[in-house]
Chains A and B, each alone.
Chain A
Amino acid sequence: MATETVHATHESAHPAGWAHPRGMLRWVTTTNHKDIGTLYLWLSFLMFLFAGALAMLIRAELFQPGLQFLQPALFNQFTTLHGLIMIFGAIMPAFVGFANWQVPLMIGAPDMAFPRLNNWSFWLLPVGFTLLISSLLVPGGSAAGGWTMYPPLFIQGGIAYDMTILALHVLGLSSIIGSINIITTIINMRAPGMTMMKMPMFVWTWLITAFLLLAAMPVLAGALTMLLTDRHFGTSFFNAAGGGDPVMFQHLFWFFGHPEVYIMILPAFGILSTIIPTFSRKPLFGYHAMVYATASIALLSFVVWAHHMFTVGMPVAGQLFFMYTTMLIAVPTGVKVFNWVATMWRGSLTFETPMLFSVAVVCLFTIGGFSGLVLAIVPVDIQLQDTYYVVAHFHYVLFSGAAMSIMAGVYYWLPKWTGHMYDERLGQWHFWLTTIAFNVTFFPMHFTGLAGMPRRIPDYALQFANFNMISSIGAFVLGGSQLLFLYVVIKCIRGGAKAGNKPWEGADTLEWTLASPPPYHTFETAPVVK
């Protein structure tokens, strides 16, 4: 990962006719990877707060047994929207935002390979979310079949279900265009000397993530199309009377859905692999192993999907196959955790906010990984399917894995993006509030789940009351602390101590050779990497 540069950046003259619309239109028409990265990150923050507000409402209902605020139908709509928006609105766009900002800077490229398509892949998102969120207002309310959209529920619903399906088609189109752009940028736009095995780990993880997106999103598009034709055009894909099978949807969905899980965690691994070496002041331990581990996780992710379906009925041979392949994923993931710990080993560590988040992610994601291994065991999974244990598991990987890595990355690169240092004291407050509140919220769910509390139900038996109250209190603190995050980010954008070119002394990737904030166009003359 040597990134010594012979000469850094020149702000060379633009081609003639380089007209820049101003105000709002600048953002609408921009072809600049930094602008588009910023748009992605802000949209993701907005969606994070919106879907988080839905989670607050869900936790308010679950504060006590019985029905207080939400009728079951609305509760189901909120859980469905919370899942869909957190995945497609908060986590995925945030990582694409990072890719937009960082990939060209880290590989010494002047911009993304297709700047106009880059703009389109962002501006498709508001179209998708307009369709998705406005479905709350149509008769019957928004889709309530769960984010997994299983038929027959998803075939029986009203107009909102069509809106959800088409919204996801548009969001999928955005993802496909975005990943074609990212994968082409990484393959074709690297600075001279930046060989594949010299690429920063974050770039590697995005290369593999873009491949996963290109392989998985079209399958989701196919499955959604089948839902739509089954709903309106009389096809029998998921209709047993016509020779189809509703279980087939689950196979198609999870063939997309499991790689999707890695789409949401591999870029997080990339962020960790960037931050941990910086604050350990040591190179990443086992870079090559890290690359191979990422690739193995990606390939394995295509042969584990039916572990989401152990209870729907399948031959024992199938159960065994999917159980073993799922457990196999723990090997490359373990390699990664080991390498992060080994990177910290005997490093001269400091714990600024990005590092605090990263260390917390390594610990908490490992808990989520282990509960995943528990769920991989078929007989155990049959007991735990659709309980709060599953909810605890995927929030440990998605919140304390993906979302907290995003926060780590935001703190890490904010000084580069804005030119200002964020408020370290408030950042650490945000960290401790988030981490503690997260565990207060989700750790008890392991217990309620093991005791048999089913997920996606607005009411529960009395013996779960105490744990649910604890979870709800944790959730409110967790939600509230994200407003502090918003404040810290805005404060940092508006001012603060000047960040030099390289505020983190251990950082060694190309973006730190540039000014903070970097000029609008960077690396128009490619740096030479030795």
Chain B
Amino acid sequence: MKTHAQHYYLPAPSYWPIIGSIALLFLAGGFVLLLNHFKSGPYLMMVGALILVGMLFGWFGAVIRESLSGHFNLQVDRSYRWGMGWFIFSEVMFFAAFFGALFYARNIAVPWLGNTPLLWPDYVATWPTAGPGAHTAFTPMAAWGIPAINTLILLSSGATVTWAHWGLIKNNRMQLKLGLVLTILLGITFTGLQAYEYMSADFSLHTGIYGTTFFMLTGFHGLHVTLGIIMLSVILLRVLAGHFAPEQQEHFAFAAVSWYWHFVDVVWLILFVFVYWL
């Protein structure tokens, strides 16, 4: 920390938030139109997405410049760490809603539907199921093929990102770069295998509650992995540009991304157990 670090850094007025709001207005409005089959929907969404990407570059760029010019003291760093922690907590609760739906369906909704002799006399409540109204059979995803390999891959990537962190703390830039590259490659492999699994599945979102919970849970997880890969890549570029130093307040962004990656990892473990295995 070089200069004016005695005061808590208060940023000057900023246009980025309102630009972000405009982006979300376009995205949400465009999505509504898209869902209701208006041709303008996708275009509005594209405009919104472009504005959003610009906003993310601008806003994060401003924060990175502030960080590099030594505006952030330890107290600011602590704020960022608490903020990221609570953000991940809110993400945990978001996944909890979908896991809650899975557990509710498996333990309450489906067994009840199996006990409705007047409505669906022939329905036998077993898991996995596409529900009493389904007419086609499907093969559920087996746990001990690709998913097990993916578990191994994601767990290893958690180890490599920690190894990279150790490299950063020891000021071993080679270890840091190598660890990050390995993590990103493992992440991409995971996503590729997920995509292959999706394509080889003989069921879809439309396949009753099994297809619904399978694709929504793995889909949101995959989205988070993809986001994590993008975040890790940004960190790698920053490392190559010479950012970050061993002191705690000099590499918050790295720490935040690695926390996020571990969070994605833990979600996958729960997914593997309850969506694929049991």
Tell me if A236 is interfacial: C-beta within 8 Å of chain B.
yes
- CB-CB contacts below 8 Å: A103-145 with B: 109-111, 113-117, 119-120, 123-124, 126-127, 130-131
Measured between C-beta atoms, what is the minimum distance from A527 to chain B in Å?
Answer: 14
The answer on a CB contact under 8 Å between A188 and B104 is no
Q: Which of B4, B17, B97, B209 contacts A243 (CB 8 A)?
A: B209
A23 at the interface (CB under 8 A from B): no
Does A187 count as interface, using CB distance less than 8 angstroms? Answer: yes
What's the nearest-Cβ distance from chain A to residue B149, in Å? 27
Bound-state CA distance A237–B21 (Å) is 30
Contact B129 A245 (CB under 8 A): no
Q: Across the interface, do B83 and A236 meet the contact criterion of CB distance under 8 Å?
A: no
B75 contacts the other chain (Cβ, under 8 Å)?
A: yes
Assembled-state Cα–Cα distance A21/B98 (Å): 44
Segment of A220-228, A388-396, A436-444 in the binding face: A220-228
Instruction: Give CA–CA (A28, B16) in the complex, Å.
Output: 10
User: What is the minimal beta-carbon distance from A20 to any residue of chain B, in angstroms?
Assistant: 6
Contact status of A29 and B18, CB under 8 A, knowing A236-B208, A240-B132: yes
Q: Verify B109–A248 contact, CB threshold 8 A.
A: yes
Q: Is the CB of B12 within 8 A of A31?
A: yes
Given contacts A218-B91, A243-B132, whether A251 and B104 have CB atoms under 8 Å apart is yes
A29 touches B15 (CB 8 A): yes
Residues of the A chain whose Cβ atoms lie less than 8 Å from the Cβ of B93: 214-219
- Contact across chains for A221 and B209 when beta carbons are under 8 A apart: no
Residues of A within 8 A of B78 (CB): 188
Q: How many residues of A contact B (CB 8 A)?
A: 80
The answer to whether residues A237 and B32 also contact, given A189-B8, A243-B129 and a CB cut-off of 8 A, is: no
Known contacts A159-B36, A183-B82; A124/B21 CB under 8 A:
yes
Bound Cα distance from A219 to B100, whole angstroms = 10
Q: Does A163 contact B (CB under 8 A)?
A: yes
* Interface: A244 (CB within 8 A): yes
Q: Among B22-30, B166-174, B245-253, B256-264, which stretch is in contact with chain A?
A: B22-30
User: Are A183 and B97 in contact (CB-based, < 8 A)?
Assistant: no
Interface: A30 (CB within 8 A) = yes
Which one of B59, B92, B97, B105 has the highest number of Cβ atoms from chain A below 10 Å of its Cβ?
B97
Does the CB pair A248–B35 fall under 8 Å?
no
Please measure, in the bound complex, the distance between the C-alpha atom of A382 and the C-alpha atom of B185, giving whole angstroms: 58
Q: Is the CB of B212 within 8 A of A236?
A: yes
Kindly state whether residue A325 has any CB partner on chain B within 8 Å.
Answer: no
Q: Which residues of A contact B234 (CB under 8 A)?
A: none
Q: Which residues of B (97-111) have their CB < 8 Å from a CB of A?
A: 97-98, 100-101, 104-105, 108-110
Q: Are A245 and B11 also in contact (CB < 8 A) when A180-B86, A184-B83, A235-B205 are? A: no
Output the least CB separation between A134 and chain B (Å).
Answer: 9
Min C-beta distance of B3 to chain A, whole Å: 10
B134 → chain A closest CB, angstroms: 7
Q: A243-B208, A243-B209, A524-B7 are in contact. Are A30 and B79 (CB under 8 A)?
A: no
- Which residues of B have CB within 8 Å of A248? 101, 104-105, 108-109
A19 and chain B: residue at smallest CB distance: B12
B40 beta carbon closer than 8 Å to chain A:
no
CB-CB nearest in chain A for B26: A127
Inter-chain contacts of B216 with A (CB < 8 A):
225-226, 229, 235
Q: Tell me how far the C-beta of B42 lies from the nearest C-beta in chain A, rounded to whole angstroms.
A: 14
Kindly list chain B residues whose C-beta atoms are within 8 Å of the C-beta of A217. Answer: 90, 93
Quick check: is A176 within 8 A (CB to CB) of the other chain?
Answer: yes
Number of interface residues of B (CB under 8 A): 65
Give A169's nearest chain B residue, CB to CB.
B28
A214 touches B86 (CB 8 A): yes
Task: Report how far A248 CA is from B12 CA in the complex, Å.
Answer: 46
Query: What residues on A are CB-neighbors of B112 within 8 Å?
Result: 245
CB–CB A166/B100 < 8 A:
no
Look across to chain A and name the residue whose beta carbon is closest to the beta carbon of B220: A225
A232 near B: Cβ within 8 Å? yes
Query: Would you give the 0/1 interface string for A229-261, flagging 1 where the beta carbon is closer than 8 Å to chain B?
Result: 101111111011111110110011001000000
Contact assessment for A127 and B25 in the assembled complex, using a CB-CB cutoff below 8 Å: yes
Q: Does B154 contact A (CB under 8 A)?
A: no
Residues of B within 8 A of A219 (CB): 93-94, 96-97, 100
Contact A166 B13 (CB under 8 A): no
| A425 interface hit (Cβ, 8 Å) | no
The yes or no answer to B131 lying at the interface (CB within 8 A) is yes
Chain A CB within 8 A of B206 CB: yes
| B89 in contact (CB, < 8 A) | yes
B132 contacts which chain A residues (CB < 8 A)?
240-241, 243
Are A127's CB and B113's CB within 8 A?
Answer: no
A240 nearest CB neighbor, chain B only: B113
Contact check, A123 vs B21: say whether CB atoms are below 8 A apart.
Answer: yes
In the complex, chain B residues whose CB is within 8 Å of the CB of A124: 21, 24
Alpha-carbon distance A325/B93, docked complex (angstroms) = 22
CB A248 to nearest CB in B, in angstroms, measures 5
Q: CA A116 – CA B248 in complex, angstroms? A: 23
- CA–CA, A325 to B100, complex, Å? 21
- Look across to chain B and name the residue whose beta carbon is closest to the beta carbon of A35: B13
Residues of B within 8 A of A126 (CB): 21
Q: Is B87 an interface residue (CB 8 A)?
A: yes
Give the residues in chain A near B101, CB-CB below 8 Å: 222, 226, 237, 248, 252
Kindly state whether residue A508 has any CB partner on chain B within 8 Å: no
B200-220 interface mask toward A, CB cutoff 8 Å, 1 = contact, 0 = none?
Answer: 000011101111100110000
Judge whether B129 and A180 touch: CB under 8 Å: no
Other-chain contact of B17, A116, A216, A242 (Cβ < 8 Å): A116
Given contacts A115-B10, A127-B28, A180-B87, contact A243 B130 (CB under 8 A): yes
In the bound assembly, the distance between CA atoms of A251 and B103 in angstroms comes to: 12
Task: Select the residue from A117, A181, A183, A244 with max chain B CB neighbours within 10 A.
Answer: A244
* Chain A nearest Cβ from B120, distance in angstroms: 9
- Residues of chain B lying within 8 A (CB to CB) of residue A243: 105, 109-110, 113, 129-132, 134, 208-210
Task: Verify if B228 is at the interface (C-beta below 8 Å from A).
Answer: no
Task: Name the residue of chain A whose CB is nearest to the CB of B22.
Answer: A127
By a CB distance below 8 angstroms, the chain B residues around A225 are 216
Cβ contact within 8 Å between A116 and B36:
no
A119 to B110, CA, bound (A): 45
Q: Counting CB contacts under 8 A, is A494 at the interface? A: no
**Inter-chain contact A233/B104, CB cutoff 8 Å:** no
Contacts of B272 in A (CB 8 A): none
CA of A114 to CA of B11, assembled, Å: 9
B31 contacts across to A, CB distance below 8 A: 162, 166
B179 located at the interface, meaning its Cβ lies under 8 Å from any Cβ of chain A in the complex = no
Q: Enumerate chain B residues within 8 angstroms of A15, measured Cβ to Cβ.
A: 4, 12
Residue ID in chain A nearest B209 by CB atoms: A243
Mark A residues whose CB is within 8 Å of B.
Answer: 15, 17-21, 26, 28-31, 109-111, 113-117, 119-120, 123-124, 126-127, 130-131, 158-159, 162-163, 166-167, 169-170, 173, 176, 179-181, 183-184, 187-189, 214-219, 221-223, 225-226, 228-229, 231-237, 239-245, 247-248, 251-252, 255, 521, 524-525
Would you list 16 pairs from A and B whose C-beta atoms are within 8 A, ordered by A residue? A21-B13, A28-B18, A115-B10, A163-B32, A173-B24, A176-B90, A180-B87, A218-B97, A222-B98, A229-B205, A236-B212, A242-B131, A243-B130, A243-B209, A248-B104, A252-B100
The 4 closest A-B pairs by CB, nearest first: A222-B97, A241-B133, A243-B131, A243-B209
